[in-house]
Structure formats: structure tokens, C-alpha cells
Amino acid sequence: MNKTSTPRILFLLIVISSITVLRTDRTLIEVAGAGLFQAGQCAAVPESLASIYKGEGNANDLAGGKNGTLIGDVGYVAGRVGQAFSFPGGEASIQVPSQNLGSNFSVEFWMNPSRLVLGNGYQHLIGNDWRTRNFGALYQFDNKVSYWVDSTLIFDSSTIQLNSWTHVALTYDGDVARLYINGVLDQTSGSFSLTFNNPVKLGDGVFRDSSFTYQGLLDEVSFYNSALNAPVIQSVFNAGATGKCSNLNAPLITLTASAGPYLKGQPVTMTADLPAGAAGQPLPTGSVPFRDGNTAIGTSNLSNAGKATLTTTALPAGARQLSAVYSGDSFYRGRSSSILNIVVANTLVNASAADYRGDFLAPEQIVAAFGINLATTSQAASTQPLPTTLAGTTVRVIDSTGTERLAPLFYISPAQVNYQLPPGTAIGAATITITSGDGSLSIQLVQIAAVAPGLFTADQSGEGLAAADILRVKPGGALVYEKVARYDEALKKYVAVPIDLSSTTDQIFLVLYGTGIRFRTALSNVTATVGGTVASVEFAGLQGMLLGLDQVNIRLSSSLAGRGDVNVVLSINNKPAKTVLVNIK
């Protein structure tokens, strides 16, 4: 289409009233006299509003601070909402700074044209250069609204009226442009690409002559960094002369969460802080919905201090993207907080691999951890020294000094991981994190003590018959080892092997195996009773053959002969181990 060769015919019309109704053909007409227009409610300001030029005696941007510059004889007259910009034609225009809206935007405004140029009558409404692949140019073409990008006509609207207010909204979602006239979808483009990161002019463009400048009124010229949907556009149109609510300022939202780690099923407290926009302005009011990605978590009312707090135990395990979404009030428009990224871990139970107590753990202790998704397979370590990774699973221990160490691994499975608490782990609180090969996290806070005595049992239940040996020292110094338990195939359980104390020449020792013992203080702080009788503890320390395994040697007195099943009670540094059982013949 040639934009310069066709003769122009000018029609000058006059606005005769200020009352507006909607015709069945979706065009606005002005009706003189009888007060037929009833003002609607103000339209909520969309959160994505980037700039708005209201024409209230200046070209200031009341949302984004990108103030416009007047060129020529732009004036101000009564508009659709308050005052409007008046363009007499000629050189009159408003230079607007770059909007930097990218490839997802909307432009929305009221127009009231006062001249019609038929044939080739392009009048810039909002333009840069119709020949480029940026915003392009939005025209009044004859009695239509026309949009051009990259020398290509995107679409023409249906007919608009002179000397009447028409609401226009142009949206682009990164693929398709849509044109709404008076709140109703009028045109939809095919697929094309553009990026709106350039300055524009209101009432003019780069490529024009005097006939290409707009003559008429523009009001409420608004730019958004999203493609507005139809209900939002309809609400702005329906508001009519009432316009957008006066909440053009969006409050800053700071979202914080209670200190981690974050565990599935455990409470997480989120706080949205919405301070006043500036000195003398009120605090935001109303409620704040909280979200995890696209999932609603809950809603909290703002306090008198401008804070909304929500505690939830419903966050699933995994990476979570938390946000607070404020819908606005009569003073502030809506805004979302930045995303707060946290990771919610599965719960984990770490306990002594000997007796499954977990109130305290000790450095170099053998630990059994229980949970879900701890590993993607089952695998035992087959090398020495023990690996710190098996099938992608690792155990990290951060101690009370903040030092992080990887734990040596004995065995992994989806439900259980056996490992040694790393040497050098400091006394105090520690965080144990198991990361599965698929990235799943499981976390527990534990307490580390110097000792956490636990004794192994024959059936590995942590109860009953001790996993122990009898050591006989013969008069000539020969060492003989005997079991104190055996597995009975008929009974399908471990049964006691009675300890024979009848010899008057043998020295007989009960050798107990445990973990969490080696960092005891003096041997005198290790005590034992057998069948209620105090027994002498001859040794308590490293077993020396298996990583993390400890050993306690207790001298057995012949006075215990014939006692049958007896309890063995061990205490180290005033910390008792679980009672185990032996049988004395």
C-alpha cells in the first residue's frame, strides 16, 4: 500500500456532548442532554502496568517515572477521565522514553479523533517506525485503527467514530497480536515476532509528514509488560469516565521464610512485608495470598504493621518457588513479590546402628539413617577406604562450627543408609543431609556428644542377646574365643549359648561390641554390672578391625555361675547403653 500518493479529503467534526453510550455495533456515540451515562466503578490497575500518561496538565508517567516530553502545541482539555492530551495536528506530539517491554506487552488508551483523512490518511496514534520490527506504528487510518510492523499491515479495526471516545487496547503475547475496540476483541493477527524495547511518540512517529500527525484527543495512555486478557481490558472500558483506581503505586513486597532447613510436614512460616510507599503514605491494607509456583498455599490478612504471615506444613518435598501476591487496595495497585526459592527435604531419622537410639550421636560412630528416597538402588561398599558416594548418594554432615564433611558409606538403599559419622565432627548441633542420586534431599538436625554408647545385639534389633564373644585366657596364655549366641534353624531365631564359669584357672572376659564409645574419658568412668553385680571393665575403645566399631571387655567372676539369663548394664561417662542379655551356665 502506498502511503503518499492518494489525495486526502478532510472532514472536520465537533464534539457536542459529554455523555457516552455503547451502540450495538460496539462504537461509542455521544448523546446530548439527558444523563444516560452512569459512571462505572473504577478499574483495578493491572499489576503489569509499566507507564501511564494521564494528561492531567503534564506528560508525566505516574507509574514508571518515564516522563514524556511535549513537542509543539500539545494542550490539555476535558478528557474521558479527568483531562486529556489535545493534539491540534501539525508538529504536536509527545516523545515517550523507551518502554523496554520486550516481547510481551499491551498498549491501552482512549482516543477521540477530530479529523478524518480518507484514502491514504494515516495519523499516528502511537508510533516509532512502521518499517521496523520493534513496536512499529499504531495509526488512525481513515475511520479505523491500523497497526503496522516491519512494513507489514498487521490488521485494521472495524469502524470508529469521529468526535467520540473509543477505547483501544493492543496486546502482543510473543506470537499473536490482538486489538480490542471498546472492550471487545476486534482483530487477531497471525503469528509474528517483535520486541518492544524502543521509544515512541504519542500523536506522531518517525516516518511522517504533517498529515501523518494525529488530530484529536488521547487519554489514559498506558503501557504494560504483559499481554492483558479480555476481562481486564473489559473492566477498564467498563469503568468509563471513572477510569482506573487511583492506586498507581505498587508497594514493595519483601518475602522471607523462617530459618531452614525445611522439612516435609514441618511448619514453614512465610512473612510478606509491605511497607508504605513513601513518607506520609498509608500502609497497604487487605490480604496477601501466598503461592508455591502456581499452587495456592493460603491467604493472610495484613497487620497494622504492613505484614502478612502464613505458616504451613503442606509444602511437598523438593524445590519450592514461593511468592506473595498482593491484589491492591484503594491506594496501591497489585504486585507480586520476587520468587523465594527454598528446598523442602524429606524427614530423616539418624540413629546408632547398634541400638537405634538417636538422642545423641558421637564422632566416628556407625550410624543407620532411615527415610524415603535416600537412594535410587541398594548397594554395599566394596572398597577400602569406604567411599563417600554410592550410586550418587552422599551423606553430608555440617557440625556446630559450620564445617562440612562427607561421611564414609557402608551401605545404601532407598529406605536406609549406613555410614560412619565423619572423624572430627564437633560436639553440639549438626545437620545431616542425605542426597540421593536423583537429587532428593533428606535432612535431620542432631546433637553430637563425645560418647553415645550403643551395643550390638545378635539379631540386630538393638534388644535382647548381646552380639558378643567370651574370651578365655588359659593359664599358659592361650586365648580361646566362644560365642554367646547362635542361630537356631528350628526356632528361626537366635538363642543363648550359656557361658561356662566353672573353671577356677581360666580368666574369662565378656567381649561386647558397640559403637559411640571410643571417645570416653578415663576408664574409671566406664562401669558395668552383670546380673546386678558390679563387674570390672578392663578395656573400652576401638575394636580395630572394622571402621567405627568399638569393644568393651568385662571380667566375669565365677560367683555369677548358675545365674542363667542376666542383664548386662554398661554406662560410659554417665551415659547408659541399652541393656543387653547373656546366659550364664
Mean residue pLDDT across the chain: 88
In this structure, how many other beta carbons lie within 10 angstroms of the beta carbon of residue 265?
A: 12
- Tens of pLDDT, residue by residue over 313-348, are 999 999 999 999 998 877 777 888 999 999 999 999
Does 125 score more than 80 pLDDT? yes
Q: Residue 280's pLDDT band (boundaries 50, 70, 90)?
A: low
Q: Average pLDDT of 30-39?
A: 30
Does 145 score more than 90 pLDDT? yes
In this structure, how many other beta carbons lie within 10 angstroms of the beta carbon of residue 394?
A: 19
Residue carrying the nine cell digits 555369677: 560
More confident call, 185 vs 133 = 185
Q: Top-level CATH class of 348-448? A: mainly beta
**Beta strand spans in 250-294 (E):** 254-257, 262-263, 268-273, 287-292
Residue closest to 165 by CA, chosen among 302, 59, 379, 18: 18
- Tens of pLDDT, residue by residue over 207-230, are 554 457 889 999 999 999 999 999
Domain residue limits, the chain: 10-242, 254-344, 348-448, 454-584
Q: Residue 45's pLDDT band (boundaries 50, 70, 90)?
A: confident
Per DSSP, the three-state class of 493 is strand
Domains 10-242 and 454-584 share a fold: no
d(CA 119, CA 115): 13
Residue burial 566-580, b: 16+ Cβ < 10 Å; e: rest: bebbbebbebebbeb
- Tens of pLDDT, residue by residue over 83-110, are 999 999 888 899 999 888 999 999 999 9
Give the range among 108-112, 183-187, 246-250, 496-500 with minimum mean pLDDT: 246-250
Please report, in angstroms and rounded to a whole number, the separation of the first and last CA atoms in the chain: 113
Note the pLDDT of residue 383.
Answer: 95
Give the range among 57-66, 160-169, 342-351, 503-512 with minimum mean pLDDT: 57-66
Q: Average pLDDT of 274-289?
A: 82
Does 507 score more than 70 pLDDT? yes
Q: Residue 29's pLDDT band (boundaries 50, 70, 90)?
A: very low
Fold assignment, 254-344: Immunoglobulin-like (2.60.40)
pTM of the model: 0.61
Question: What CATH number belongs to 10-242?
Answer: 2.60.120.200
Asked whether the beta carbons of 332 and 249 are under 8 A apart, the reply is yes
Q: How far is CA 575 from the centre of its chain?
A: 43
Does 13 score more than 60 pLDDT? no
Q: Top-level CATH class of 454-584? A: mainly beta
Residue burial 489-518, b: 16+ Cβ < 10 Å; e: rest: eeeeebebbebebeeeebebbbbbbbbbbb
